[in-house]
Amino acid sequence: MIYLDNAATTKPDAECLKRAEEYLLSKYYNPSALYAEGYNLHLELKRARNNVLSLIADEYNFSLVFTSCGTEADNQAVFCGAKRGNVVTTMGEHSAIYSAVNELKQRGIEVRFAELNGDGSVNCGSLLSLVDENTSLVSVIHVNNETGAVNDICAIAKSVKSKNGRTLFHSDGVQAFGKIAFRLSKDIDLYSVSAHKIGGIKGCGALFKRKNLAIKPFIYGGGQEQGLRSGTENVFGIKCFEFASLKKYENLGNAFKNVKRLNGTMRKRLDSGLFKILSSENSSPYILSVAATGLRGETVLHEADDSGLIIGTGSACSSNASKRYSRIILACGVEKETADGVLRISFSSENTVEEVEKAAEILNSIVKNRKQIMA
């Protein structure tokens, strides 16, 4: 089986799982307990927090709150950051942001959506035109989860702050963390990440927070995570996340080059007469969005699965939605006939050129045969 749906989830890293195993089987104590074993785990969590934090942020200016997933981190940013006036976001956000801000509408907060460019990146002019003196929060995805478009969040955050210094700036960094090189700037207040996108396990994520930023908890209870996220900590998941993060950043540059090569191979191998490439050359190489115009992407996905290839049709978190077309792809200006045939191919540095070549062969064969049947 060839797995090319890594934007949905990645295979847990075996080495990291093995290293973290002791926190599941022997060091299973409650890190909030007063006995020595519990306190020692508290210190382990502190070490994990500092290690993950240091990868993209200055520990003197940022802190880290561990959560259950990227969606929870996004929701905490939205519901704890948007308390008044209006909220500005983009039409290209993951459903964790898009659904959350639409809930804000029900609570009486105005929500404004910035337009997208053709590749799925935010139109900065459109975004900034929506920011005013009443904007409490701006949220812009770092790497679009369907097209791979990369937004320059540091530059965007700086421009937002120049219009309204009191506006909080958040970014969903789930598809960027552990994949592309960057550092959080002083203009970014909140940043969300997820463990299972980089070889960690499901059930763990984190929210980076500017240190002097005062926000209320999203989940109440025993006051864990500096009082900002109650609930007994998932020590095994957090340690696995720490190990996976450190491993990814040790080899970030080489992995990026390898994945870029895989992406380029797929672009060359797909029949240009059958597929339209939607992702730009400047997008993250980890995500390649293509379209088999005139066909249903879901149909191609199922046939590919039968042939030993796993790919996606867009965000896995939106697969249960009743709408036929991706709102993100439509917001890029893609016509419905093309949007209906969208496929998302997403890579891991563990994938091989041989796998990608075989995957392209499978996809070309499926679409060619389908079109011959329809002719």
Q: What string of pLDDT tens digits covers the 375 residues of the chain?
A: 999 999 999 999 999 999 999 999 999 999 999 999 999 999 999 999 999 999 999 989 999 999 999 999 999 999 999 988 999 999 999 999 999 999 999 999 999 999 999 999 999 999 999 999 999 999 999 999 999 999 999 999 999 999 999 999 999 999 999 999 999 999 999 999 999 999 999 999 999 999 999 888 889 999 898 888 989 999 999 999 999 999 999 999 999 999 999 999 999 999 999 999 999 999 999 999 999 989 999 999 999 999 999 999 965 555 554 568 899 999 999 999 999 999 999 999 999 999 999 999 999 999 999 988 876
Q: Phi and psi for 118 in degrees, rounded to 5?
A: -60, -25
What gap in Å lies between CA 303 and CA 309, rounded to an integer?
A: 9
Which tokens in the block code for residue 194?
A: 């997820």
DSSP, collapsed to helix, strand or coil, labels residue 168 as strand
Give the C-alpha distances (Å, rounded to integers) separating 48 from 44, 64, 235, 251: 6, 10, 10, 19
SS3 label, residue 288: strand
Query: Please, which residues have CB within 8 angstroms of residue 266's CB and are 6 or more apart in sequence?
Result: 288, 345, 356, 359, 360
Looking at residue 315, its pLDDT comes to 55
CB 285 within 8 A of CB 328: no
Q: Give the tokens for residue 178.
A: 């552990």
CB 374 within 8 A of CB 294: yes
* pTM attached to this predicted model: 0.96
Token pair for 91: 């039409």
Q: From residue 344, how far is each of 80, 218, 290, 292, 298 by CA, in Å?
A: 32, 32, 7, 11, 11
**CB atoms inside a 10 Å sphere around CB 188:** 27
Q: Which helix (H) or strand (E) holds 40?
A: helix 36-54
pLDDT tens digit string along 201-245? 999 999 999 999 988 888 999 989 888 898 999 999 999 999 999
Query: Residues 159, 169: contact at Cβ < 8 Å?
Result: no
Radius of gyration, CA atoms only, the chain: 21
Instruction: Point out which residues pair with 171 in neighbouring strands.
Output: 191
pLDDT tens for 169-204 read 999 999 999 999 999 999 999 999 999 999 999 999
What's the CA gap between 109 and 240, in Å, rounded?
A: 38
Please give the pLDDT value at position 324: 80
- Amino acid at position 302, single letter: H
Pairing of strands 168-172, 190-194: parallel
| Cα–Cα distance for residue pair 365/188, rounded to 1 Å | 46
| Among 146, 356, 171, 176, residue whose Cα is nearest residue 248 | 176
